[in-house]
């Protein structure tokens, strides 16, 4: 038989063996009927209600927040916040993982050079041969050259891993965007809390001034024997009670300022704000848009979808581990036992070319475990995506309801403040004309103060609810270019 015929026969035998191995491996891929994979349920209700306009969440935070002081705080936080910058490192790590995966299915070429000495025994076959050819017993070994290996990605397994890494890289970007929405919203909520505290302190200080004036009047009336010492002491106690409340609000203001400074990534310092704007009317209601737009607006939904895609590719990657793999090896260089002959051509020129076909046999149980685990993680990703989408819709529905109820509550509290203000003025006049008891003055004044503070608290909740709705709709991560 000629060498050509022998080589063709060997090649056909290798192809037959490869085909037989593929058929056997494919046929023996374990079934996933006990934990089948499925596609996620992407259906959401057609609307949040009657609102179907373009969602205001698509506006950038620079457009949404009108206060220049608040915009300056957000801008500083996006540059200096430590948690946000740490998340940026996660993006860099994910991007490097993509480069790593891409390198796995590209040929690997390395250069080598070496020198050494081999000593063989005289009573070995190599020693006898070297002595017959008058070679020294201590034989040099010098060489240099190039070597390369390449795993042929026959089934696309390595490319699946690369695509999965690419999707996780994109998911890491969405994770950072989601953190941006949280950071922007948290700063805005804290800012409105701070200006609300400024206004509450202003109301409380004015109330203390009024009570101190009323105390002086009561002291004069006591001198005229119109009231007793009891009335004086009750008014004094009310003044002291409200002064003590001032320190509680001052501490809340300090803590709120420091929370903002922490989010901005700086040490405690005064926070610039315009407390007078808190008294202005609320901005127009936010348009919620369609629930289906959450898929494009909410970074956490987009992240969950990308991670689901990566999990699906992981299943494909682990499944293809059951299939045979083909790798090629090649090398070329120079090698000689004497350095003087190292670059003699073609006498010292060496080379090799080989192909390897491998298929898993004894380690199938480990591969099967990884395959089933990848499938379970894919099912987890499906459930995580559905849960994220459900949570997003519920968030918006809750915030829309909250904004409506807070508006009704604020309107009623404003009416309550007006009524109690008139009642306080009437009680003061009646007390001065001896037609009302001092306790009526104190209690009416206290109710008026509490109503004013509660009205400010409700207005703060309205501002914060609008920020919350902007966030849950997916707003805050877009920036002006």
What is the per-residue pLDDT for 362?
A: 74
Residue pointed to by tokens 């608290």: 457
Q: How many residues does the chain have?
A: 481
Among 136-140, 183-187, 453-457, which is the least confidently predicted range?
136-140
CATH fold group of domain 32-81+179-323+365-472: Outer membrane efflux proteins (OEP) (1.20.1600)
DSSP assigned state of 363? T
Whether the CB-CB separation of 400 and 48 falls below 8 Å is answered with: yes
What is the per-residue pLDDT for 22?
A: 52
Residue 331's beta-bridge partner residues? 147, 352
pLDDT surpasses 80 at 19: no
Mean of all residue pLDDT scores within the chain: 88
What residue ranges of the chain are covered by domains with CATH 2.20.200.10?
A: 106-152+325-358
Whether the CB-CB separation of 211 and 244 falls below 8 Å is answered with: no
Among 335-349, 407-421, 441-455, which is the least confidently predicted range?
335-349
pLDDT surpasses 90 at 360: no
Domain 106-152+325-358 has CATH 3.40.640.10: no
The tens digit of pLDDT for each residue in 211-270 reads 998 888 888 888 888 888 998 999 899 999 999 999 999 999 999 999 999 999 999 999
Tell which residue, 166, 387, 392, 400, has the closest CA to residue 295: 392
For the chain, helix, strand, coil in percent to 5 are: 65, 10, 25
Phi-psi region of 476 (alpha: psi -120 to 50; beta: other; left: phi over 0): left
Average pLDDT, integer, range 123-132: 82
Tell which residue, 468, 459, 462, 461, has the closest CA to residue 397: 468
Tell which residue, 189, 145, 197, has the closest CA to residue 331: 145
pLDDT surpasses 70 at 27: no
What is the per-residue pLDDT for 464?
A: 95
pLDDT surpasses 90 at 422: yes
What residue ranges of the chain are covered by domains with CATH 1.20.1600.10?
A: 32-81+179-323+365-472
What is the per-residue pLDDT for 194?
A: 97
From residue 13, alpha-carbon distances to 7, 154, 360 in Å are 10, 19, 19
Which one has a higher pLDDT value, 462 or 128?
462
Residue 403 has, within 13 A of its CA and on its CB side, a CA count of: 20
Which one has a higher pLDDT value, 257 or 8?
257
């Amino acid at each position: 038989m000629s060498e050509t015929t022998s080589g063709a026969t060997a090649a056909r035998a290798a192809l037959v063996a490869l085909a037989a191995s593929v058929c056997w491996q494919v046929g023996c891929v374990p079934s996933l009927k006990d934990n089948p994979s499925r596609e996620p349920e992407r259906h959401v209700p057609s609307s949040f209600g009657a609102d179907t306009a373009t969602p205001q969440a698509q506006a950038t935070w620079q457009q949404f927040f009108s206060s220049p002081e608040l915009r300056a705080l957000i801008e500083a936080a996006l540059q200096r916040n430590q948690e946000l910058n740490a998340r940026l490192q996660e993006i860099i790590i994910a991007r490097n993982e993509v480069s790593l995966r891409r390198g796995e299915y590209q040929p690997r070429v390395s250069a080598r050079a070496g020198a050494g000495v081999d000593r063989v025994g005289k009573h070995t076959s190599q020693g006898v041969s070297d002595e017959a050819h008058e070679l020294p017993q201590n034989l040099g070994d010098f060489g240099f050259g190039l070597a390369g290996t390449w795993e042929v990605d026959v089934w696309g397994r390595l490319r699946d891993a690369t695509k999965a890494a690419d999707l996780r890289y994109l998911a890491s970007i969405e994770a950072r965007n989601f953190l941006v929405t949280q950071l922007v919203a948290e700063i805005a909520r804290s800012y409105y809390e701070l200006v609300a505290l400024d206004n509450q302190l202003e109301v409380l200080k004015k109330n203390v001034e009024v009570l101190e004036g009323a105390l002086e009047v009561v002291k004069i009336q006591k001198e005229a024997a119109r009231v007793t010492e009891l009335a004086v002491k009750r008014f004094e106690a009310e003044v002291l009670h409200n002064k003590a409340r001032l320190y509680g609000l001052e501490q809340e203001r300090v803590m709120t300022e420091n929370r903002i400074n922490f989010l901005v990534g700086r040490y405690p310092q005064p926070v610039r704000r315009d407390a007078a704007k808190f008294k202005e009317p609320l901005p127009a209601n936010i348009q919620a848009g369609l629930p289906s737009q959450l898929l494009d607006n909410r970074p956490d939904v987009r992240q969950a979808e990308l991670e689901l895609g990566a999990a699906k590719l992981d299943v494909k990657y682990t499944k293809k581990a059951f299939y045979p793999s083909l790798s090629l090896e090649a090398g070329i260089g120079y090698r000689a036992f004497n350095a003087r002959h190292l670059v003699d051509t073609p006498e010292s020129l060496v080379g090799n070319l080989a192909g390897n076909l491998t298929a898993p046999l004894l380690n199938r149980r480990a591969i099967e475990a990884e395959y089933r685990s990848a499938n379970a993680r894919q099912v987890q990703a499906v459930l995580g995506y559905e849960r994220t989408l459900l949570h997003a819709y519920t968030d918006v529905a809750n915030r829309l309801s909250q904004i409506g109820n807070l508006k009704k509550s604020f309107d009623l509290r404003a009416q309550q403040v007006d009524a109690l203000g008139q009642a306080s003025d009437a009680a003061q006049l009646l007390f001065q004309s001896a037609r009302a008891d001092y306790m009526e003055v104190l209690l009416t004044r206290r109710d008026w103060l509490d109503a004013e503070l509660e009205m400010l608290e409700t207005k703060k909740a309205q501002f914060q609810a609008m920020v919350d709705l902007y966030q849950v709709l997916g707003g805050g991560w877009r920036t002006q270019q």
